[in-house]
């Protein structure tokens, strides 16, 4: 399939197989998984089957998977759930300046409750500094939350090194792996993390679905009070169809991870080398090596990223810019500012994120239009 959609970090198209696996649970198989009769038991089986598939993608035990309504809820549950559960141990949390707002705003909210938060700096490539992390740790530190891969610049953090340091001090580690899941191999045991967030709609599954990996032995307070679903860690009747869809998406991701990763990398590397060859005064934001396979983020100096977006949209292309403008905030992105870009360079950024529907022809179409648009905007 051809696609001019280059915003796969924002969301992805639900796969046909994913949708097909969900439909029965909106129709004949509509039972409540908590019910004892046959219809309920069938829904329960579907939920538990999906749990195994999610667990397999990250090499965890299925008992360690909690279903949520998406990445934001998983992040909120991890941070607030741990902070509240372990507050007698201490009140200090360490995170980074380039986290998703689901993390940053959870931290803000915890700060209002009296928790202390350290926001680690990142270097030009978007990487946290392990020495700075070591120095930030105190007797009060209960949790470190650092994302596995960044949604804007694609930088992949050294989580293994981070968990190693954390373990020396008995500190719990959470990672937001929403962008990484389905795009790079993930093994929670090798990473050494205690909690990990993932989201359905970033890996060709349905929106409003997600999961939180919570290592056995780690307890969390529930964000939502109610019934005893998800072992008391997430109340509410399960989104059975959504959970089934998430399971199918994870199963497909797990089976095609290698080819998927290679394919995205090919498109990305082609795009990066062609942009650098065809267009002057560009700068690749983030790390060249430690980068998600489908992410390319360039600043086109002297041009407004929003302006590029509007003109790309006129020729049917979807991408994303370096400001939060789309959400009504004119400020440059906190991620691009944190890697040291001045406001103008940050606002000249264009994020292109490839997905499995994109072809080399699509990338050529994007490149030709981009070359023309940047030229036009620079003449003005
Ligand atoms: C999209 C995203 C989220 C939020 O996930 P939702 O399912 O949209 O709530 C959190 N973290 C990162 C890194 C993301 O890219």
178-229 pLDDT, tens digit each: 999 999 999 999 999 999 999 999 999 999 999 999 999 999 999 999 999 9
- CB of 168 within 8 A of CB of 301? no
Separation of 351 CA from ligand 1 center, angstroms?
16
What pLDDT, on a 0 to 100 scale, did the predictor assign at position 330? 74
Domain ranges of the chain: 16-252, 257-379
Catalytic residue IDs: 325
What pLDDT, on a 0 to 100 scale, did the predictor assign at position 380? 72
- Percent share of the chain, pLDDT over 70: 98
CATH, domain 257-379, list 3.10.105.10, 3.40.50.1110, 3.90.1150.10, 3.40.1410.10: 3.90.1150.10
Q: Work out the mean pLDDT of the chain and round it to a whole number.
A: 96
Cα-based distances in Å from 181 to 9, 22, 148, 239: 11, 21, 9, 21
| For ligand 1, mutation pick of 14, 54, 72 (most atoms within 8 Å of CB) | 72
Whether the predicted pLDDT of 54 surpasses 90: yes
- Ligand 1 atom at minimal distance to the Cα of residue 73: 9
Q: d(Cα 124, Cα 8) in Å, to the nearest integer? A: 24
Q: For helices 101-112 and 71-85, what crossing angle results, to 10°?
A: 30
- Ligand 1 atom at minimal distance to the Cα of residue 72: 9
Sign of CA dihedral 93, 94, 97, 100: negative
Q: Which fold has domain 16-252?
A: 3.40.640
What pLDDT, on a 0 to 100 scale, did the predictor assign at position 3? 84
Q: d(Cα 114, Cα 169) in Å, to the nearest integer? A: 22
Q: d(Cα 73, Cα 70) in Å, to the nearest integer? A: 5
- Of the pLDDT bands very low, low, confident and very high (cuts 50, 70, 90), residue 325 is very low
Residue nearest to atom 14 of ligand 1 (CA): 178
- Of the pLDDT bands very low, low, confident and very high (cuts 50, 70, 90), residue 1 is low
Tell me the mean pLDDT in the region 226-238. Answer: 96
Q: d(Cα 50, Cα 45) in Å, to the nearest integer? A: 9
Strand 349-353 vs strand 65-68: parallel, antiparallel, or unpaired? unpaired
User: What pLDDT digit, counting tens, does each position of 114-125 carry?
Assistant: 999 999 999 999
Separation of 210 CA from ligand 1 center, angstroms?
9
3-state secondary structure of 114: coil
DSSP character at residue 226: S
- Of the pLDDT bands very low, low, confident and very high (cuts 50, 70, 90), residue 328 is low
Ligand 1 pocket at CB < 6 A: 70-72, 75, 100, 102, 147, 151, 176, 178-179, 199, 201-202, 210
Between the two ends of the chain, the Cα-to-Cα distance in Å is: 36
- Of the pLDDT bands very low, low, confident and very high (cuts 50, 70, 90), residue 326 is low
Is 360 buried (19+), middle (13-18) or exposed (0-12) by CB count in 10 A? exposed
233 backbone dihedrals φ, ψ, rounded to 5°: -100, -5
Q: d(Cα 225, Cα 229) in Å, to the nearest integer? A: 10
Q: Which residues of 241-264 are buried (b: 16+ CB within 10 A; e: fewer)?
A: bbbbbbbbbbbbbbeebeebbebb
Q: Determine if residue 122 is left, alpha or beta; phi over 0 gives left, psi from -120 to 50 gives alpha, anything else beta.
A: beta
Residue nearest to atom 6 of ligand 1 (CA): 71
- Percent share of the chain, pLDDT over 90: 96
Whether the predicted pLDDT of 275 surpasses 80: yes
Q: d(Cα 218, Cα 378) in Å, to the nearest integer? A: 54
User: What pLDDT digit, counting tens, does each position of 145-178 carry?
Assistant: 999 999 999 999 999 999 999 999 999 999 999 9
pTM of the model: 0.97
Cα-based distances in Å from 126 to 91, 114, 198: 27, 29, 21
What pLDDT, on a 0 to 100 scale, did the predictor assign at position 349? 97
Q: Collect all residues with Cβ–Cβ distance below 8 Å to 230 and sequence separation of at least 6.
A: 66, 67, 238
Q: Which residues of 289-313 are buried (b: 16+ CB within 10 A; e: fewer)?
A: eebbbbbbbbbbeebbbbbbbebbe
């Amino acid at each position: 399939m051809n696609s001019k959609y280059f915003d796969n970090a924002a969301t992805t198209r639900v796969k046909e197989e994913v949708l097909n696996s969900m439909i029965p649970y909106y129709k004949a198989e509509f039972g409540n998984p908590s019910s004892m009769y046959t219809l309920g038991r069938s829904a329960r089986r579907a939920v538990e089957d999906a749990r195994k598939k999610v667990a397999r993608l990250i090499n965890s035990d299925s008992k360690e998977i909690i279903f949520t309504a998406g990445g934001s809820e998983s992040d909120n549950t991890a941070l607030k759930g741990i902070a509240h559960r372990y507050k007698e141990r201490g009140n200090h949390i360490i995170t980074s300046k380039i986290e998703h707002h689901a993390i940053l705003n959870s931290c803000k909210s915890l700060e209002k409750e009296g928790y202390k938060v350290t926001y680690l700096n990142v270097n030009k490539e978007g990487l946290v500094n392990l020495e700075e992390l070591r120095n930030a740790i105190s007797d009060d530190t209960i949790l470190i939350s650092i994302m596995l891969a960044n949604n804007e610049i694609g930088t992949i953090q050294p989580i293994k090194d981070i968990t190693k340091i954390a373990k020396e001090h008995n500190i719990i580690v959470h990672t937001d792996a929403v962008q990484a899941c389905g795009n790079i191999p993930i093994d929670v045991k090798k990473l050494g993390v205690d909690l990990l967030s993932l989201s359905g709609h970033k890996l060709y599954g349905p929106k409003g679905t997600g999961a939180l990996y919570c290592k056995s032995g780690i307890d969390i307070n529930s964000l939502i009070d109610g019934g005893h679903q998800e072992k008391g860690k997430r109340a509410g009747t399960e989104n059975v169809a959504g959970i089934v869809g998430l399971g199918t998406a994870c199963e497909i991701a797990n089976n095609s991870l290698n080819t998927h990763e290679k394919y995205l990398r090919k498109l990305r590397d082609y795009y990066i080398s062609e942009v650098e060859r065809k267009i002057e005064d560009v700068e690749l934001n983030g790390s060249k090596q430690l980068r998600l396979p489908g992410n390319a983020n360039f600043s086109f100096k002297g041009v407004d990223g929003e302006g590029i977006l509007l003109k790309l949209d006129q020729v049917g292309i979807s991408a994303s810019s370096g400001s939060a403008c789309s959400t009504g905030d004119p400020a440059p992105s906190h991620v691009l500012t944190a890697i040291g870009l001045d406001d103008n360079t940050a606002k000249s950024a264009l994020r292109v994120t490839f997905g499995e529907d994109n072809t080399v022809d699509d990338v050529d179409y994007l490149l030709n239009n981009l070359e023309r648009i940047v030229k036009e905007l620079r003449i003005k």
